[in-house]
C-alpha cells in the first residue's frame, strides 16, 4: 500500500476529495500542511484543487513559495510521482516544475462542466494505464485553465510526448486543446480537469479511475497494451 | 421605550446600538407576529427558530443545519459584493452551529434582461456568487432564476446554505461562565457596512426618482467580502469545535459586534463587558459607535474559558486567523428591584470608562413588535375575475410557450457544483440530490434533496401611501 501525501495550503479545498480517490483504490492518503519541509515516507504527492493562499496575485504565484514546495521539488527530482490537479497544476507551473502557464478562460467566466478528454500520451505516471486515443469523461472546474506556452516549448512538448491529455472540445481556449502536461521524465503531471471527481458512475463518471490507478502504480492485470 | 428600559436618557452610543439592533433586519419587528404562527416543533427538530440556523436530526449521528435569507438591497447597489457577502453571511450562520457548509442555493429574481441595468445586475450577482462561493470551497448546487419587470428596481437575491455536522458537535451562540473570554476571530474591523441593517436592508427603494437614486450615497453601507479569509475562518472554527475549545460561538453579520455580544449575553443570561479599544481596526480614528456597529465581513465571536486561550491562539495561528480577546463574561447586574439583568457594557479599556450600558436582552429580544395594518388589495377581486382562458389567443401560443423557457446553464456553469463528491443530481433539475457526506462526518448512505421554489406570480408588493 502506498502512502500518498496530499498537500494542503490555506485555501485548498479539494484535499478531501483527492484523499477519497486515493483511499478508494486502497492506498493511504496523508495531509501535508504547507509549512512542512520534508516528505519522509511518502510514495507520491498530490497538489489538490482550490485557491491556495486565496489565489492572490495570480493562481499558484504565492503557493510556490510555501515551504513544502522545496520538498516537492526535491521529491520530483528523484523521480517521485507528483500530480497537480487544477490549482495544483497552476502551482506546479508557477514553481517551474512543469512548462507553460495558465491564463484566464476564453470567455472570461468560471466553468464547471463535464468535458471529454482524449489521451494523447501514455508516457506519464498519470496516463500509463490508459490507451492513446482513449476518451475519458472528467469534469473541469476553473477560471484560469487556458494553457499557453511559447512555440519552442510547444515543439518540445510534442516531440517528447509531454502533452498527456487533450480536450475533445476545447472549453477554455487552451493551446492545441491541451488539458494536461507532464515533465520530460513523466513523473510530474498537471491537469486542469478533476479526475478525483470522476471516480463513481453515481456522480457522473468513473473514468478518473484509470488515471488514479496509473498514478498510484496499481499493477495492471494484463500487460500494457501497445500503442 | 428606550428611556423606559434605561430609566434615563440614552447617550449617543447607546442610541446607535438600539438604532441598528431594533432595525427591521435585526429584530423582525414587523414580521415576527406573523412568523410566530408557523409550526416550529417536530420529532426531528433539534434547533428551531431563534438561533443562527435551524437544525434537524438526519439519523446515523448526522444533523443537518439549514438557513435561507435575502441579500437584496446590498445586491441592488453593488451586485458583486452584495451577492458575495450574502454567500459569506449565510455560510457563517451555518458553521457557527458546528456544521460544515456543504451546499449553497441561490434563488434570483431580476427585471427583464432587455434592460442594460438588469444585465449589469445579473452578471454582477452571478459572478459574485461564483467568485465567493467557488473560492470559499462550498458547492452551489441550484436555485431559481426569474425575470419580471416588478423586480427591476428591487432585485431579489436569496441565498440558502445547508451544512451537516456530527450531532454531538452541535453548539449554540450562548455566552456562559462568568470570567470566560469573548474572542473576536477573523478580519479586522473597518468602516464598511456601518448601518447596513438600517440604512440599507430595512429601507425601501420606492422613491419616485427610481433606481438611479439608490446608488452612490448608499454604496459605503455595502460590505466587502474576502472568501479566502472566510475559508480559513471556517476551517479554524470547525477545528476549535472539534477540539472542544469553545463554550459558545456566534457569527458577526448585520449590526456586527453589538449584535453578536448582545445576543450571546442575552441567551446566556450573563453580562458582557466589551473593550472597544481592544478591537483590531482597519483604519484610524474610528468612533466607538462605528466599531460596535461595523459590518466588516469574515468575523466570528467565540466564548472560551481562560485556560483554553493558549490552545485557541495556537490553532488560529496555524490557519492565519487573527484572534483577539475583546470582552469578558461578567455577573449579571442586580437592579433596584433585585432582579438580575444581563448587561452589555461597552468600555474604553477593560477597567476603563463605561461608554454604554444597556440590558443585552433589550437589544437582542425586546425590540418593539408591530402589528402593521392589513387590508385587502383593492384590485384583488378584479384580478381574480380576470380569467385568461376567456381570452382568444393572441399571436402564437407555441412561441409564447418557448419564450417562457429559460436555460439557466450559463448561470450554474459558473458555480462549482461538485465539491465534496456529494452531488448525485446537480443544478438545472427540479431538485438537487446530495449524498450526506463530507469531511468529519460519520459514514452514512443517506441523502438529502434540496430545492428552492416560489410562486412569484401569486405575490405582489403593494406600496402603502404613508403620507
In tens, the pLDDT along A183-221 reads: 999 999 999 999 999 999 999 999 999 999 999 987 654
Largest CA distance in chain A: 47
State the Cα–Cα distance between residues B196 and B296, nearest whole angstrom: 10
Residue contact B418–A10, C-beta within 8 A:
no
Q: Smallest CA–CA separation between B283 and chain A, in Å?
A: 22
Angle at B344 between CA B342 and CA B348, to 5 degrees: 145
Q: Which residues of A touch B417 (CB under 8 A)?
A: 112
Residue B132 contacts A, CB cutoff 8 Å: no
Does residue B65 contact residue B54 with C-beta atoms inside 8 Å? Answer: yes
CB contacts under 8 A, B 220-259 vs A, are: 226-228, 231-232, 235
What per-residue confidence (pLDDT) applies to B215?
53
Percent of the residues in chain B that have a pLDDT greater than 90, as a whole number:
70
pLDDT of residue B212 exceeding 90: no
Does residue B272 contact residue B174 with C-beta atoms inside 8 Å? Answer: no
| pLDDT class of B203 with cuts at 50, 70, 90 | low
Q: Which residues of A touch B226 (CB under 8 A)?
A: 54
**Average pLDDT for B188-209:** 65
pLDDT tens-digit series, residues A112-123 = 999 999 999 999
What per-residue confidence (pLDDT) applies to B202?
57
pLDDT tens-digit series, residues B350-372 = 889 999 999 999 998 888 999 99
pLDDT of residue A104 exceeding 50: yes
Residue A34 contacts B, CB cutoff 8 Å: no
CB pairs under 8 A between A and B: 78
CA A131 to chain centroid: 18
pLDDT tens-digit series, residues B369-412 = 999 988 888 888 988 888 877 777 788 888 888 887 878 999 99
State the Cα–Cα distance between residues B229 and B274, nearest whole angstrom: 24
Percent of the residues in chain A that have a pLDDT greater than 90, as a whole number:
95
Between β-strands A82-85 and A188-191, what pairing exists: parallel, antiparallel or unpaired?
A: parallel
Question: Which has the closest alpha carbon to B104: B454, B455, B452?
Answer: B452
State the Cα–Cα distance between residues A117 and A2, nearest whole angstrom: 27
State the Cα–Cα distance between residues B425 and B169, nearest whole angstrom: 28
**Average pLDDT for B110-127:** 95
| pLDDT class of B174 with cuts at 50, 70, 90 | confident
A110 → chain B, closest CA residue? B414
A34 → chain B, closest CA residue? B318
A16 → chain B, closest CA residue? B439
Q: Which residues of A touch B412 (CB under 8 A)?
A: 112
Grid cell listed for B151: 423586480
Question: Which has the closest alpha carbon to A112: B446, B333, B133?
Answer: B133
**Where does B55-166 have alpha helices with state H?**
72-77, 79-95, 116-136
State the Cα–Cα distance between residues B141 and B424, nearest whole angstrom: 10
Which of B122, B228, B438 is the best residue to mutate to test the A interface, defined by the most A CB atoms within 10 Å of its own CB? B228
**Average pLDDT for B273-279:** 96
**Average pLDDT for B166-187:** 92
Q: Which residues of B touch A17 (CB under 8 A)?
A: 419-421
Given the cut 0.85, state whether the ipTM is greater than it.
Answer: yes
State the fold for domain A3-216. Rossmann fold (3.40.50)
State the Cα–Cα distance between residues B247 and B245, nearest whole angstrom: 7
Residue contact B228–A13, C-beta within 8 A:
no
Nearest Cβ partner of A203 from B414, B415, B423? Answer: B423
State the Cα–Cα distance between residues B142 and B123, nearest whole angstrom: 17
Residue contact B231–A16, C-beta within 8 A:
no
Which of A6, A8, A11 is the best residue to mutate to test the B interface, defined by the most B CB atoms within 10 Å of its own CB? A11
| pLDDT class of B80 with cuts at 50, 70, 90 | very high
What per-residue confidence (pLDDT) applies to B326?
97
pLDDT tens-digit series, residues B27-39 = 889 999 999 999 9
pLDDT tens-digit series, residues A132-185 = 999 999 999 999 999 999 999 999 999 999 999 999 999 999 999 999 999 999
pLDDT tens-digit series, residues A27-42 = 999 999 999 999 999 9
State the Cα–Cα distance between residues B169 and B241, nearest whole angstrom: 7
State the Cα–Cα distance between residues B236 and A77, nearest whole angstrom: 34
Residue contact A113–B413, C-beta within 8 A:
yes
- Active-site residue list of A: 86, 194, 196
Question: Which has the closest alpha carbon to B221: B13, B69, B367, B75?
Answer: B75
Beta carbons within 8 Å of B354's beta carbon, 6+ residues apart: B345, B346, B347
State the Cα–Cα distance between residues B193 and A129, nearest whole angstrom: 55
Residue contact B413–A111, C-beta within 8 A:
yes
| pLDDT class of B466 with cuts at 50, 70, 90 | low
Residue contact B231–A11, C-beta within 8 A:
yes
Nearest Cβ partner of B228 from A11, A17, A33? Answer: A11
H or E segment and range at residue B449: strand B447-450
| pLDDT class of A222 with cuts at 50, 70, 90 | very low
| pLDDT class of A109 with cuts at 50, 70, 90 | very high
A14 → chain B, closest CA residue? B419
What per-residue confidence (pLDDT) applies to B213?
46
**Average pLDDT for B290-294:** 93
pLDDT tens-digit series, residues B136-164 = 999 999 999 999 999 998 999 999 999 99
Predicted TM-score (pTM) of the model is 0.92
**Average pLDDT for A32-61:** 97
What per-residue confidence (pLDDT) applies to B43?
94
What per-residue confidence (pLDDT) applies to A74?
97
Which of B137, B297, B314, B422 is the best residue to mutate to test the A interface, defined by the most A CB atoms within 10 Å of its own CB? B137
Residue B320 contacts A, CB cutoff 8 Å: yes
pLDDT of residue B206 exceeding 70: no
3-state secondary structure of B114: coil
Bridge partners (DSSP) listed for residue A115: A138
What per-residue confidence (pLDDT) applies to B402?
86
**Radius of gyration, alpha carbons of chain B:** 23
Residue A196 contacts B, CB cutoff 8 Å: yes
**CB-hemisphere CA count at 13 Å for B412?**
25
Higher-confidence residue: B344 or B199?
B344
Between the CA of residue B169 and those of B12, B100, B104, B165, B442, what are the distances in Å?
A: 40, 11, 21, 7, 12
Amino acid at each position: 500500500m502506498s502512502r500518498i501525501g496530499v498537500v494542503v495550503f490555506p485555501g485548498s479545498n479539494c484535499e478531501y476529495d483527492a484523499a477519497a480517490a486515493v483511499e478508494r483504490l486502497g492506498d493511504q492518503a496523508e495531509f501535508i500542511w504547507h509549512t512542512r519541509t520534508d516528505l519522509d515516507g511518502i510514495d507520491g504527492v498530490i497538489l489538490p484543487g482550490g485557491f491556495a493562499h486565496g489565489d492572490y496575485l495570480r493562481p499558484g504565484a504565492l503557493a510556490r513559495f510555501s515551504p513544502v514546495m522545496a520538498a516537492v521539488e526535491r521529491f520530483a527530482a528523484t523521480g517521485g510521482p507528483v500530480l497537480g490537479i487544477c490549482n495544483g497544476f497552476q502551482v506546479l507551473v508557477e514553481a517551474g516544475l512543469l512548462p507553460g502557464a495558465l491564463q484566464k478562460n476564453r470567455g472570461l467566466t468560471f466553468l464547471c462542466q463535464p468535458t471529454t478528454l482524449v489521451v494523447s500520451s501514455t508516457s506519464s505516471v498519470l496516463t500509463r494505464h490508459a490507451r492513446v486515443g482513449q476518451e475519458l469523461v472528467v469534469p473541469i472546474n476553473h477560471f484560469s485553465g487556458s494553457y499557453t506556452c511559447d512555440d519552442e516549448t510547444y515543439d518540445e512538448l510534442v516531440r517528447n510526448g509531454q502533452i498527456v491529455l487533450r480536450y475533445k472540445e476545447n472549453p477554455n481556449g487552451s493551446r492545441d486543446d491541451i488539458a494536461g502536461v507532464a515533465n520530460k521524465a513523466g513523473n510530474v503531471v498537471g491537469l486542469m480537469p478533476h479526475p478525483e471527481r470522476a471516480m463513481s458512475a453515481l456522480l457522473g463518471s468513473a473514468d478518473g479511475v484509470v488515471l488514479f490507478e496509473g498514478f498510484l502504480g496499481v499493477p495492471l492485470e494484463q500487460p500494457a497494451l501497445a500503442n | 421605550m428606550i428611556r423606559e428600559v434605561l430609566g434615563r436618557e440614552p447617550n449617543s452610543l447607546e442610541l446607535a446600538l438600539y438604532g441598528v439592533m431594533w432595525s427591521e433586519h435585526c429584530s423582525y419587528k414587523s414580521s415576527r407576529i406573523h412568523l410566530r404562527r408557523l409550526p416550529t416543533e417536530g420529532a426531528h427538530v433539534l434547533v428551531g427558530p431563534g438561533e443562527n440556523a435551524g437544525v434537524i436530526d438526519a439519523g446515523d449521528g448526522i444533523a443537518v443545519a439549514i438557513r435561507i435569507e435575502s441579500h437584496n438591497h446590498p445586491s441592488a447597489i453593488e451586485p458583486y459584493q452584495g451577492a458575495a457577502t450574502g454567500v459569506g453571511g449565510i455560510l457563517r450562520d451555518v458553521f457557527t452551529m458546528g456544521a460544515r457548509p456543504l451546499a449553497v442555493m441561490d434563488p434570483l429574481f431580476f427585471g427583464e434582461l432587455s434592460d442594460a441595468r438588469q444585465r449589469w445586475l445579473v452578471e454582477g450577482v452571478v459572478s459574485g456568487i461564483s467568485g465567493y462561493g467557488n473560492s470559499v470551497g462550498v458547492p452551489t448546487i441550484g436555485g431559481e432564476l426569474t425575470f419580471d419587470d416588478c423586480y427591476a428596481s428591487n432585485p431579489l437575491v436569496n441565498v440558502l446554505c445547508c451544512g451537516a455536522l456530527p450531532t454531538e458537535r452541535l453548539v449554540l451562540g450562548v455566552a456562559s461562565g462568568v470570567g470566560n473570554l469573548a474572542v473576536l476571530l477573523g478580519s479586522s474591523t473597518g468602516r464598511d457596512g456601518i448601518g447596513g441593517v438600517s440604512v440599507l436592508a430595512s429601507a425601501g427603494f420606492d422613491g419616485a426618482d427610481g433606481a438611479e437614486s439608490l446608488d452612490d450615497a448608499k454604496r459605503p453601507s455595502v460590505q466587502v467580502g474576502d472568501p479566502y479569509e472566510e475559508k480559513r475562518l471556517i476551517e479554524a472554527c470547525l477545528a476549535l469545535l472539534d477540539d472542544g475549545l469553545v463554550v459558545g460561538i456566534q457569527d458577526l453579520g448585520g449590526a456586527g459586534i453589538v449584535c453578536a455580544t448582545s445576543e450571546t449575553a442575552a441567551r446566556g443570561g450573563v453580562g458582557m463587558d466589551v473593550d472597544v479599544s481592544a478591537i483590531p481596526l482597519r483604519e484610524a480614528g474610528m468612533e466607538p459607535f462605528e466599531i460596535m456597529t461595523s459590518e466588516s465581513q469574515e468575523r466570528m465571536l467565540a466564548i472560551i474559558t481562560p485556560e483554553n486561550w493558549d490552545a485557541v491562539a495556537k490553532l488560529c495561528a496555524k490557519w492565519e486567523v487573527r484572534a483577539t480577546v475583546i470582552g469578558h463574561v461578567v455577573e449579571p447586574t442586580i437592579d433596584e428591584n433585585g432582579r438580575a439583568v444581563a448587561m452589555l457594557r461597552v468600555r474604553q479599556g477593560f477597567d476603563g470608562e463605561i461608554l454604554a450600558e444597556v440590558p443585552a436582552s433589550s437589544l437582542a429580544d425586546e425590540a418593539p413588535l408591530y402589528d402593521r395594518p392589513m387590508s385587502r388589495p383593492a384590485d384583488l377581486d378584479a384580478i381574480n375575475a380576470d380569467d385568461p382562458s376567456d381570452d382568444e389567443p393572441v399571436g402564437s401560443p407555441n412561441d409564447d410557450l418557448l419564450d417562457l423557457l429559460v436555460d439557466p446553464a450559463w448561470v450554474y456553469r459558473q458555480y462549482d457544483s461538485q465539491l465534496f463528491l456529494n452531488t448525485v443530481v446537480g443544478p438545472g433539475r427540479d431538485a438537487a440530490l446530495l449524498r450526506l457526506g463530507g469531511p468529519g462526518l460519520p459514514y452514512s448512505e443517506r441523502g438529502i434533496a434540496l430545492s428552492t421554489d416560489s410562486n412569484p406570480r401569486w405575490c405582489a408588493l403593494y406600496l402603502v401611501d404613508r403620507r
